[in-house]
Amino acid sequence: MIELTENKFRVRFAPSPTGPFHIGGARSALFNWLLARRYGGQLILRIEDTDLERSSRESEENIKAALRWLGIEWDEGIDIGGDHGPYRQTERLPIYAEYTQRLLAEGKAYRCYCTDEELEAERQELLAKGETPRYLGKCRNLSADEEQKLIDAGRKPTIRFRVPENQNITFHDAVRGTVSFDSNGIGDFVIVKSDGLPVYNYAVVLDDALMEITHVIRAEEHLSNTPRQILVYQALGLPLPTFGHISLILGKDRSKMSKRHGATSVDQYKALGYLPAAVVNFLALLGWAPPGEQEIFSSAELIELFSLDHVAKNPAVFDIDKLNWINSQYLKKLSEEELTEMALPHLKAAGLIGEELPPERLDWLQQVVGAVREYISFVAQVPEHAAVFFNDDIIMENEETAAILRDPDVARVMDEFLARLAQLDAITGEQVNATLKTIGKELKLGGKKVFMPVRVALTGKMHGPDLVSLIPLLGVERTMSRIRHSMALVK
Residues binding ligand GLU (CB under 6 A): 14-16, 48, 204, 218, 222
What's the closest the beta carbon of residue 243 comes to ligand GLU, in angstroms? 9
Q: Between vectors from CA 459 to CA 458 and to CA 465, what angle results, nearest 5°? A: 100
Query: 220, 247 in Cβ contact below 8 A?
Result: yes
Compare residues 204 and 414 and give the one whose CB is closer to ligand GLU: 204
If you count DSSP H runs as helices and E runs as strands, how many of each does the chain have, helices first?
Answer: 19, 12
Distance between CA atoms of residues 458 and 452, nearest Å: 10
Q: Which is nearer to ligand GLU, 192 or 204 (CB)?
A: 204
CB of 200 to ligand GLU, least distance (A): 6
Report the DSSP pairing between strands 10-13 and 316-317: unpaired
Of 420, 445, 448, which is closest to residue 432 (Cα–Cα)? 420
The partner residues of 44 in beta bridges, in order of sequence, read: 12, 76
Please pick, among 156, 259, 332, 437, the residue that the annotation labels catalytic.
259
Q: Which residues contact 445 (CB under 8 A, 6 or more apart)?
A: 409, 413, 439
Q: How many CB atoms lie within 10 A of CB 63?
A: 26
Distance CA 335, CA 301 (A): 23
**29/382 with CB nearer ligand GLU:** 29
For ligand GLU, the closer of residues 217 and 436 by Cβ is 217
Secondary structure class of 464 (helix, strand, coil): coil
Nearest approach, Cβ of residue 212 and ligand GLU (Å): 15
Contact criterion met (CB below 8 Å) for 59 and 38: no
Q: Tell the smallest beta-carbon distance from residue 55 to ligand GLU (Å).
A: 10
Q: What does residue 140 show for φ and ψ, rounded to 5 degrees? A: -55, -40
Residue 311 is given by DSSP the state B
For residues 64 and 218, which CB has a smaller minimum distance to ligand GLU in the complex? Answer: 218
* CB 48 to ligand GLU: min, Å: 4
For residue 14, the minimal CB distance to ligand GLU (Å) is 4
Query: Does residue 77 sit in helix, strand or coil?
Result: strand
Which C-beta is closer to ligand GLU: that of 72 or that of 457?
A: 72
Q: In whole angstroms, what is the distance from residue 206 CA to residue 52 CA? A: 19
252 counts as catalytic: no
Contacts with 363 (C-beta within 8 Å, 6 or more apart), sequence order:
none
Catalytic residues: 259
